[in-house]
C-alpha cells in the first residue's frame, strides 16, 4: 500500500491537526496524541494493519494501491460526462439587444438582432435529430433575453413537444421581470434566475442604468420580491460584480439582501468583473482578479460573519459548456459558438444550427482539447487536480495561443488550510 499523494496534513489553530484528501474529499481531525501514529503510517504504509482504524483509511483512499489508477478513473468520469450525447446544454441568446448601458459591458458594439421563428424551428430540428436525446437544459441569454420573451415562450413550447426532460434558467438584468412575465416562469420550466445587483442603490445605479441614464435598482428589487413571493421554490442568484470600488461595501449589502429575502434559495454571491475579452470593461486600477485579491475578499467577509462561499473543496466532474461536446451557444441568427463571451464575434462562429454537419470541427477542438486541463501534465500531477476544473477554458486557450497570463489555477491552491479551517468553524457553529 501507499500513502496517497492526495493527502495533506497540517495543523490548524481552530481545528487542531487536519488530514485532507483531495481525491476522496475525506476530512479528518486528528487528536494530538494520534498524530505520531499517522506520521508513522505515512512513512510505513505497508504496516497499515497495525493501525486500529485501517479500514477507514482504505475506504477514504488515504492509503491506496495506485494513485494513478484513481486519477485515471477521475478523468474517465469527467470525459464521460463531457461527451455524453444524451443530455444537451444550450445557451440561447434570443437577442443581442439590451435596455441597459452598463459601464463594464463587453457587448456594446454588437447589433440589436432578434431571433426569429425560423431559427427557433432550426434549433428544434437540430434537437430532434438526436435519437439518444434524454434531456435539454437551456440558459436564456442575451443581450437582455426578456426583450424577446415571446421567442422564449414559443421555443419552450416547441422543445417540450419533443417529449424529453426540459429545464431552463435565465440570465437577465431583472428590469423587465414584470408580474405578467414572472407568472409564466413556472409553466416555462424556468427554475433558476440570475440577476445582477451591483451593491446598494447608490452604487448600482452608477454602474447599471438604462440607456437614457435612469437608475434601475428600485425596480429590480421590487421585481425580485414579487418573483420570490409567487414562485418561492425558484432559485434566485443575485450576483454582485466585485471590484475595488465595491469590495468593502459588500458585507453590509449581503446582509441586507439576506434580511430582505431570508430564504436559502435566494443566493447572493460575488462575481469578479474581468477583462478577459480585452473590452476595457474594467481597468487594472479597479480589478480584483488575482487569486490573492479574491482570497482576501472571502477571508475578510468570513471574519465579518458573511460566508459567501462553500469552503469545503468539492470534486469537479462537471464541465464548462465550452469544452462539452453537447454544449452549444446559439446566437439570434442561429450562429453557433462554444463560449458565450464570444457571442457576436464572427471569428468565433463554428457554424450555424441549421447545418450541424458543417460545423467547423477544427475550431470546436480548440475548446474541447487544445488547452484542456485533463491533458495538461502540470495539472495531472497537481494535488488540487480532483477539486479544480482547470479554470476558464477560454482563458486557457488565450494563455496558450496568445501568450496571455490569465490565472486559471483554483483560488484555493494557496489557501487550502484557511478554507478548511473556515469549513470546520462553520460546521461547529451549526452543530
The reply to whether 349 falls in a domain is no
179 lies in the same domain as 265: yes
More confident of the two residues 111 and 152: 152
Cell numbers that stand for 174 in this block? 431583472
pLDDT classification of 278: cutoffs 50, 70, 90: very low
The reply to whether 378 falls in a domain is no
228 lies in the same domain as 266: yes
264 lies in the same domain as 153: yes
Domain boundary among 256, 272, 303: 303
In this prediction, residue 284 carries a pLDDT of 57
Q: How far is CA 416 from CA 35, 63, 419, in A?
A: 20, 21, 5
The reply to whether 97 falls in a domain is yes
pLDDT classification of 281: cutoffs 50, 70, 90: very low
152 lies in the same domain as 51: no
Share the mean pLDDT of the chain: 91
140 lies in the same domain as 273: yes
Rg (CA), the chain: 24
131 lies in the same domain as 209: yes
- Are residues 96 and 115 in contact, defined by beta-carbon separation less than 8 angstroms? no
Question: pLDDT of 215-233, one tens digit each?
Answer: 999 999 999 999 999 999 9
Q: What is the CATH number of the domain that holds 214?
A: 3.20.20.70
Total domains, the chain: 2
Residue-by-residue DSSP string for 104-153? T-S-TTS---B--HHHHHHHHHHHHT-TT--EEEEEEESS-GGGGHHHHH
The boundaries of the domain holding residue 23 are 2-65
Task: Tell me whether the omega of the peptide bond preceding residue 143 falls within 30 degrees of 0, making it cis.
Answer: yes
Amino acid at each position: 500500500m501507499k500513502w496517497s499523494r492526495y493527502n495533506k496534513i497540517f495543523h490548524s489553530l481552530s481545528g487542531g491537526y487536519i488530514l485532507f484528501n483531495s481525491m476522496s474529499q475525506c476530512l479528518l481531525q486528528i487528536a494530538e496524541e494520534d498524530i505520531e501514529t499517522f506520521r508513522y503510517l505515512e512513512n510505513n504504509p505497508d504496516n497499515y494493519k497495525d493501525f486500529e482504524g485501517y479500514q477507514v483509511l482504505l475506504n477514504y483512499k488515504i492509503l491506496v494501491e495506485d494513485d494513478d489508477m484513481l486519477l485515471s478513473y477521475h478523468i474517465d468520469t469527467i470525459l464521460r460526462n463531457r461527451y455524453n450525447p444524451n443530455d444537451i446544454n444550450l445557451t440561447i441568446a434570443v437577442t443581442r439587444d439590451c435596455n441597459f448601458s452598463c459601464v463594464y459591458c463587453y457587448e456594446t458594439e454588437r447589433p440589436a438582432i432578434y431571433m426569429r421563428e425560423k431559427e427557433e424551428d432550426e434549433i428544434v430540428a437540430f434537437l430532434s435529430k438526436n435519437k439518444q436525446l434524454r434531456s435539454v437544459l437551456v440558459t436564456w441569454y442575451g443581450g437582455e433575453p426578456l426583450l424577446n420573451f415571446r421567442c422564449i415562450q414559443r421555443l419552450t413550447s416547441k422543445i417540450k413537444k419533443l417529449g424529453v426532460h426540459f429545464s431552463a434558467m435565465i440570465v437577465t438584468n431583472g428590469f423587465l421581470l414584470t408580474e405578467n412575465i414572472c407568472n409564466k416562469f413556472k409553466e416555462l420550466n424556468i427554475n433558476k434566475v440570475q440577476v445582477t445587483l451591483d451593491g446598494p442603490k447608490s452604487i448600482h445605479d452608477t454602474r447599471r442604468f438604462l440607456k437614457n441614464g435612469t437608475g434601475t435598482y428600485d425596480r429590480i428589487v421590487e421585481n425580485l420580491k414579487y418573483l420570490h413571493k409567487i414562485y418561492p421554490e425558484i432559485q434566485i442568484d443575485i450576483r454582485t460584480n466585485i471590484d475595488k470600488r465595491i469590495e468593502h461595501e459588500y458585507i453590509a449589502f449581503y446582509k441586507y439582501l439576506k434580511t430582505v429575502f431570508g430564504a436559502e434559495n435566494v443566493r447572493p454571491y460575488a462575481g469578479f468583473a474581468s477583462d478577459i475579452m480585452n473590452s476595457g470593461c474594467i481597468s487594472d486600477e479597479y480589478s480584483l482578479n488575482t487569486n490573492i485579491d479574491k482570497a482576501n475578499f472571502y477571508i475578510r467577509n468570513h471574519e465579518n460573519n458573511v460566508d459567501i462561499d462553500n469552503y469545503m473543496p468539492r470534486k469537479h466532474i462537471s464541465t464548462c459548456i465550452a469544452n462539452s461536446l453537447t454544449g452549444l451557444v446559439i446566437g439570434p441568427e442561429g450562429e453557433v459558438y462554444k463560449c458565450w463571451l464570444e457571442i457576436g464575434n464572427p471569428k468565433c462562429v463554428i457554424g450555424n444550427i441549421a447545418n450541424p454537419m458543417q460545423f467547423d470541427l477544427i475550431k470546436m477542438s480548440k475548446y474541447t482539447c487544445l488547452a484542456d486541463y485533463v491533458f495538461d501534465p502540470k495539472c495531472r500531477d497537481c494535488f488540487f487536480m480532483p477539486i479544480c476544473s482547470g479554470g476558464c477554458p477560454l482563458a486557457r486557450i488565450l494563455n496558450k495561443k496568445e501568450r496571455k497570463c490569465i490565472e486559471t489555477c483554483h483560488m484555493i491552491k494557496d489557501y487550502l488550510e484557511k478554507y478548511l479551517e473556515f469549513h470546520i468553524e462553520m460546521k461547529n457553529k451549526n452543530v
